[in-house]
Amino acid sequence: MKKIKMGMIGGGIGAFIGDAHRRASRICNDYELVGGVFDVDYEKSKEFAVMEGISLDRCYKSVDALIKAELAMPAKERMEVIAIVTPNALHFPFAKKFLNNGFHLVCEKPMTITVKEALELERLVAKNKLTFALTHTYTGYPMVRQMRDLIAKGVLGTIQRIDAQYYQGWINAIIHGGGTRITGVWRLDPKHAGASSCMGDIGVHAFNLIEYTTGLEVKEILSDLNSVKDGIKLDLDGTVLLRFSKKLKGVIRASQVCGGLENDITISVYGSKASLRWGQENPNYLYMFSDSEPIKVYKPAHTYNGKLAEEGHTMPSGHPEGIYEALANIYKGAAKSIRKQKFNPAEFPTVHDGVRGMKFIHAVVNSNTKGNTWVKI
């Protein structure tokens, strides 16, 4: 099948997230990276293009230059989709331009800096009938999809509590010195990261996982954020109380200062009959607890899983796939949408998830600023 021609904004030398997007696009095998603006520094951008084997003709000086040149090409040659993997603050202006010019988008999260921007993108996607995939990568894991499927089938009974955690420790190296992974310092600067560090970068993933797996919407939140150290302007840690309905509550906990923690995302949904728990560091294991039966551990590549989970794992059971494959699953879903093939809406997060995420982040910041009060989402 013909590959979808893709451009990329950001993701040049040393940017791990850009590399992840490229790998994922190659794994799913539906895309061909043909050009982009890989770095604000044009020389570095070209250096990257050479390294990657991309034609310098399509290594552009700017997003405007890219759009102009690509639109001038015949439709068959033109980039159809753009992957935006820049720092947060640039997502919106670039996304807007691309949507206005008819390009499909794959965009890193958080989608924008403000809710207003997010709503604007949502409007443009609808208006121009474009595909917009937001890379909440964790929803690409087969066992997250199976979790959604089991919950939709009602196996948990009445959902009674929802609890998600996202703990990392890497910012300790930046704020205290001496660590081993010092990238992403821009995340501490409100100009580049937006209103929040911890909740904007990782808390929002937990939020998204909750809404993705349960199909429920968080109605109100109350947050308590912590900048941890004097002089830090953004939250590096926090807890968010959640209300889904009068009798259903939950909590999101997120932190970037849990010394030694790597990428510890866990989601648990507790019901009257049974409960489900999934953790990202061992993504091929989904645990179901119930009072009347042994604990059940679901794994990919089994006929007991639903179709959505099964399509997200290509190896036979016992051959672990990982995060690149999860991201590839999202790319795969977006490709189906771009190609106007049939797809399950659960195959990739959309601009609407981006809107929800921005609302969440802003509600969290507002609640904290107002002295830990309830704020509607």
CA distance 213 to 174: 33
* Choices 7-15, 23-31, 60-68, 110-118 (CB under 8 A): range interacting with its own copies: 23-31
- Binding segment toward its own copies, per CB under 8 A, in 20-28, 37-45, 62-70, 102-110: 20-28
User: Quick one: which H or E segment has residue 279?
Assistant: strand 274-279
CB atoms within 10 A of CB 121: 26
Report the distance separating Cα 41 and Cα 35, nearest Å.
Answer: 15
- By CB atoms closer than 10 A (0-12, 13-18, 19+), residue 247 is exposed
The identity of residue 304, as a single letter, is Y
Q: Which is nearer to its own copies, 43 or 292 (CB)?
A: 292
**Among 72, 153, 303, 341, which residue sits at the site for its own copies (rule: CB under 8 A)?**
303
State the nearest-atom distance from the C-beta of 45 to its own copies, in Å.
Answer: 17
Length of the chain: 377
Q: List Cα–Cα distances, 240 to 192, 219, 259, 366, in angstroms.
A: 23, 12, 21, 12
Interaction of residue 31 with its own copies, rule CB under 8 A? no
Which of 323, 338, 361, 365 forms a contact with its own copies (CB under 8 A)?
323
The single residue among 72, 129, 295, 340 that binds its own copies, judged by CB under 8 A, is 295
By CB under 8 A, is residue 55 in contact with its own copies? no
Q: Is 278 in the site for its own copies (CB under 8 A)?
A: no
Q: Kindly indicate which of the ranges 37-45, 76-84, 253-261, 333-341 contains the residues binding its own copies, using the contact rule CB under 8 A.
A: 253-261
Contact pick of 123, 217, 281, 370 for its own copies (by CB under 8 A): 281
Interaction of residue 336 with its own copies, rule CB under 8 A = no
Name the minimum Å distance from CB 67 to its own copies: 27
Q: Quick check: 239 binds its own copies (CB under 8 A)?
A: yes
Q: Kindly tell me which of 128 and 160 has the beta carbon lying closer to its own copies.
A: 160
- Give the count of residues interacting with its own copies (CB under 8 A): 96
Whether 22 and 10 have beta carbons less than 8 Å apart is answered as: no
- Cβ 241 vs Cβ 222: under 8 Å: yes
Annotate each residue in 353-372 with x if it binds its own copies (CB under 8 A) or - if it does not, as one string: -------------------x
Which C-beta is closer to its own copies: that of 7 or that of 184?
184
Euclidean distance between CA atoms 312 and 305, whole angstroms: 11
Output the smallest distance, CB 209 to its own copies, in A.
15
Nearest to 351 by CA among 138, 85, 129: 129
**According to the binding rule CB under 8 A, does residue 302 interact with its own copies?**
yes
Give strand pairing partners of 254.
Answer: 166, 238
Q: Both tokens of residue 93? A: 């202006």
**Is residue 341 at the binding interface for its own copies, with CB under 8 A as the rule?**
no
Structure tokens at 302: 């089994």
Interacting stretch for its own copies, rule CB under 8 A, among 19-27, 39-47, 330-338, 348-356?
19-27
Distance CA 202, CA 16 (A): 16
Does the footprint of its own copies cover residue 46 (CB under 8 A)?
Answer: no
| The pairing of beta strand 220-226 with beta strand 237-245 | antiparallel
Q: Is 156 in the site for its own copies (CB under 8 A)?
A: yes
Q: Which is nearer to its own copies, 95 or 199 (CB)?
A: 199
How many angstroms separate the CA atoms of 61 and 46, rounded?
A: 9
- Closer Cβ to its own copies, 36 or 112, answer by number: 36
Cβ closer to its own copies: 20 or 121?
A: 20
Residue 233 is a binding residue for its own copies (CB under 8 A): no
Region binding its own copies by CB under 8 A among candidate stretches 45-53, 95-103, 338-346, 353-361: 45-53
The CA distance from 285 to 145, in Å, is 12
Q: Which of residues 167-226 bind its own copies (CB under 8 A)?
A: 167-170, 172-173, 176, 179-181, 222, 224, 226
Whole-number Cα distances in Å, 136 to 7, 79, 109? 20, 23, 7
Let me know: does 143 contact 299? Beta carbons within 8 Å. yes
Token code pair at residue 282: 């061992």
